[in-house]
Structure 1
Amino acid sequence: MTGASLRLVAHGHTAALRRARFGGTDDGLDEGGLRAALARAGSDRHGHGSADDACLTSPAAAATQTASAFGLRPVIEAALADCDYGDWTGRAFEEVARDHPQALHEWLSAPDSAPHGGESVAALRDRVGGWLDGQRARGGRIIAVTHPLVIRVAVVHALDLPLATYRQLDVEPLAIVRLTSQGTRWQLRLGATRAHSPA
């Protein structure tokens, strides 16, 4: 069986991300986010993989723009979409904390809850986890450009951690998480990224 090699890449900065908004309008990378993605691509051309690797992205413009900045040819994968934040979509964290403190507390403390009418963290994990399991079974080299929360729940699923652990993970823009598998389970691979290094 061919092993699976997966790079999960967080898209670059957007205006919504800088303002700590729940999702938001699909407003692509901001100027600083695009500059940072291009600079990262120039300084580490092979750290994000090569044009021969399959590149899948969230439907969000920020994800496809990040992939393009890295010189990759992105294909949209719906399973990599950001969490559906329902009524909170586009609203600032501080605003929701002020207007709906109990609902926000419920969402943060109970991964199965979705007080905003959208997707719970548990539902997001199930969606992303199902996709991850499929990639492990298929094998091959894949680069997936997506959202920080998607990467957090992906790591929790891949390592079979308690779901609440996602709150202890922090994924910065343009961060790269590397997972490998020989078909039975995922392994988190840590190390320096070097030119021509395997995924």
Structure 2
Amino acid sequence: MDTRLLLVSHASTAAQRAGRFPDDDPLDARSLAEAEAHAARLRLAIADNAPAFVSPAACARETAAALGLAASVEAGLADLNYGKWQGRRLADLAAEAPQDIAAWTRDPDAAPHGGESFSQLVKRVGEWLEASSDGATDRTSTRPRDVIAVTHAPVLRAAVVYALGAPPDIFPRIEIAPLSMIELRRSPRGWTWWPASH
């Protein structure tokens, strides 16, 4: 049976709006309202009984709840590990260590922050994608098995890179806004990126 996976980026956080790297930030009232406004759109996009998964981060769990999902926490959906940059403003880091920021934004293997590189994230997300598509039991069904996951923009970027078999250095050219949805499908020929059907 094919797998149809909808990946949703969490609602915006005050930290994002302030240009800070995440630090397990919760949603504020504005973010919760944005997520609740997207709940109906999501219900039209996916089967009622679809398994739902979520990143361990507070913003992702709160987004999933606002979308009406009873989601299981999955460590593989965690945000990129920002190491010592966690909670810091990008503008401050660009002034303090411009060479580190430049390396990180251009080289998918760079992790000058002591956290995770984008290449490492692509590998981790690829492992989660493969595991998420292994749960099909009815191999005679022609209807794809729906799965939904609420996570972070870098994870969605990594999923697109992995699905397309693209080099990780294209990551800065993929933009993912808060509450964006992307659709990936797994068939015998592998993963494909589909136009959003919602």
TM > 0.5 between the two?
Answer: yes
Measure how far apart 1:185 and its partner are.
1.0
Matched, 1:118 2:115: yes
**Which secondary structure does the structure 2 equivalent of 1:138 belong to?**
coil
Q: Output aligned runs, 1:117-156, within 5 Å.
A: 117-139=114-136, 140-156=145-161
CA distance in 2, matches of 1:181, 1:128: 14
Q: 1:191 to 1:122 in 2, by over 3 A?
A: closer
Q: CA deviation at 1:82?
A: 0.5
Shift, 1:152, TM fit: 0.4
Asked if 1:161 is matched to 2:166, the reply is yes
* Residue of structure 2 in register with 1:35 after alignment: 33
Matched, 1:73 2:78: no
Question: Residue 27 of structure 1: CA displacement?
Answer: 2.1
Moved more, 67-76 or 135-144: 135-144
Give the secondary structure class of the aligned counterpart of 1:187: strand
**Paired position in structure 2 for 1:100:** 97
Deviations 1:28-71 (A, max 9, x none): 112111001111114x2523524411110000111111111111
**Identical pairs, percent:** 39
Structure 1 residue matching 2:43: 3-state secondary structure: coil
Q: Structure 2 regions of 5+ residues with no counterpart?
A: 137-144
Q: How many residues align?
A: 190
- Which deviates more from structure 2 when the two are superposed, residues 48-57 or residues 92-101? 48-57
Structure 1 residues 77 and 45: CA distance shift in structure 2, 3 A: closer
The answer on whether the counterparts of 1:129 and 1:154 sit within 8 Å (CA) in structure 2 is yes
Question: Which string of whole-angstrom CA distances, capped at 9 and with x for unpartnered residues, describes residues 57-92 of structure 1?
Answer: 000111111111111101100000001111100001
Report deviation, 1:186. Answer: 1.1
Correspondence for 1:181: 186
Aligned-residue offset at 1:164: 1.1
Task: Check conservation: 2:8, 2:180, Cα contact below 8 A.
Answer: yes
CA distance in 1, matches of 2:186, 2:197: 19
Which whole-Å CA distance do the structure 2 matches of 1:82 and 1:92 have between them?
Answer: 17
**Matching residue's letter, 1:135:** S
Alpha carbons of structure 1 residues 5 and 45: separation in structure 2 relative to 1, 3 Å: closer
Contact 2:182 / 2:196 at 8 angstroms: preserved in 1?
A: no
Residue matched to 2:20: 21
Q: 1:137 deviation in Å?
A: 3.6
Letter in 2 for 1:98: A
SS in 2 for 1:7: strand
Cα offset, 1:95, TM superposition:
0.8
In the TM superposition, residue 183 of structure 1 has moved relative to its aligned partner by 3.3
Q: Distance in 2 between matches of 1:47 and 1:169?
A: 25
